[in-house]
């Protein structure tokens, strides 16, 4: 990915109330994973390209959002009593932008990036802010005023008509898998996860039921035509927001992902959609941490008890890099040097989603 991406990419299968039949091996190193993610998020917050006005940063789908979702799970696993510096700074950044919503510039203004980047930026950020703050508050059991404001910002930007009715404008830099033509479905799935994970009975609030109904309709309408990658996101979403997919659609996704499972027990990102790299290089076909982590996470949240989920967990348990603490995944957009900061973007996401899958299986 050549540009900082706005994401989530969402997550919440790590909450203590979730139980599944499978239990991961103890061969992976939680402390090493935490160290890798902390270093990467600290770098992101200092990277000039990620800087935005009012001394804030954009929230990337490859580094910042996955970190916000996975790091608290590691904190619980490691018995840490409070959030570290990088986690606190990221959440403070999100809260600040929520509070200054009418004053801060969009991540990518029309005036500098062209139409319709302001609309895309606002829709994307509104959903991501809600995901981060709702899942944070889920741990305390009470929805904060900041999270409620984030949801208000999100609902105000939901489409009420047209093909995208029920969804949000989403950044499109033709960068897979988070900023491309099909990414509004990814974003709508994140919105469903935010709503379903919010505490204080938010998802059943009378004042949002018409909007939730539009969101469900959008997710169901697209579930039979979007890529398998986005269908996996819909499966994850339906684990948080009941009936986000129909029962038949849910089972269809489960069958499809098991059909893509590799002999080693993992999944390859290259098989989840018809990705094409801009530089013409072939996609990596081996199992990777991002696809395996996301698929296992979605299956766990959907309550799937199957030996094949156990095999996915085993793959994750045994494929953490012993030196860096990370899980590998490569760019879907071009061949990149995995030792470079930009070349680590997919590795950042892979590491966070692997952590979410492994800790969510407790």
Q: CA neighbours within 13 Å on the CB side: how many for 95?
A: 13
Length of the chain as a residue count:
362
With beta carbons less than 8 A apart as the criterion, state whether 354 and 293 touch: yes
Task: Determine phi and psi for 84, rounding to 5 degrees.
Answer: -80, 180
> Structural domain boundaries of the chain?
30-360
CB-based contacts of 44, cutoff 8 Å, min separation 6: 50, 57, 60, 63, 64
Interval 2-19: pLDDT, tens: 444 433 333 333 332 323
Interval 248-272: pLDDT, tens: 999 999 999 999 999 999 999 999 9
Interval 102-141: pLDDT, tens: 999 999 999 999 999 999 999 999 999 999 999 999 999 9
Is the pTM higher than 0.85? The answer reads yes
* Run of H or E residues at 48: none
- Whole-number pLDDT of residue 360: 86
With beta carbons less than 8 A apart as the criterion, state whether 120 and 172 touch: yes
The mean pLDDT of the chain is 93
Structure tokens at 222: 């697209």
CA distances from 81 to 22, 85, 352 (A): 27, 13, 20
Interval 170-190: pLDDT, tens: 999 999 999 999 999 999 999
For the chain, residues with pLDDT lower than 70 are: 1-26, 361-362
Write down the CATH number for the domain with range 30-360.
1.50.10.20
Give the Cα separation of 299 and 172 in Å (integer). Answer: 28
């Amino acid at each position: 990915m050549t540009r900082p991406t706005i994401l989530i990419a969402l997550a919440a299968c790590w909450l203590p109330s979730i139980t599944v039949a499978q239990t991961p091996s103890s061969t992976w190193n939680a402390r090493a994973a935490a160290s890798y993610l902390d270093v990467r998020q600290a770098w992101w917050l200092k990277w000039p390209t990620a800087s935005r006005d009012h001394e804030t940063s954009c929230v990337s789908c490859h580094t910042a959002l996955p970190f916000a979702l996975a790091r608290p799970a590691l904190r619980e696993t490691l018995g840490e009593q409070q959030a570290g510096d990088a986690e606190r700074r990221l959440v403070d950044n999100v809260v600040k932008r929520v509070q200054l919503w009418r004053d801060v510039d969009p991540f990518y203004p029309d005036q500098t990036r062209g139409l319709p980047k302001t609309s895309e930026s606002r829709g994307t950020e509104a959903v991501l802010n809600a995901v981060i703050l709702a899942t944070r508050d889920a741990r305390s059991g009470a929805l904060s005023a900041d999270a409620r404001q984030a949801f208000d910002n999100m609902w105000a930007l939901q489409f009420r008509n047209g093909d995208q009715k029920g969804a949000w404008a989403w950044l499109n830099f033709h960068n897979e898998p988070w900023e491309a033509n099909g990414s509004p479905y990814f974003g709508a799935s994140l919105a469903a996860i935010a709503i379903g994970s919010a505490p204080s009975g938010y998802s059943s609030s009378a004042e949002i039921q018409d909007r939730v109904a539009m969101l469900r309709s959008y997710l169901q309408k697209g579930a039979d035509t979007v890529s398998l990658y986005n269908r996996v996101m819909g499966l994850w979403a339906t684990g948080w927001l009941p009936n986000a997919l129909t029962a038949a659609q849910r089972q269809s996704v489960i069958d499809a992902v098991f059909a893509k499972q590799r002999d080693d027990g993992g999944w390859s990102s290259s098989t989840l959609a018809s990705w094409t790299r801009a530089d013409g290089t072939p996609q990596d076909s081996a199992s990777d941490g991002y696809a395996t982590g996301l698929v296992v996470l979605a299956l766990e949240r959907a309550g799937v008890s199957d030996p094949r989920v156990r095999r996915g967990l085993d793959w994750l348990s045994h494929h953490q890099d012993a030196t860096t603490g990370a899980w590998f995944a490569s760019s879907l957009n071009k061949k990149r040097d995995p030792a470079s900061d930009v070349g680590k973007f997919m590795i950042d996401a892979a590491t966070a989603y692997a952590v979410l899958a492994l800790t969510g299986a407790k």
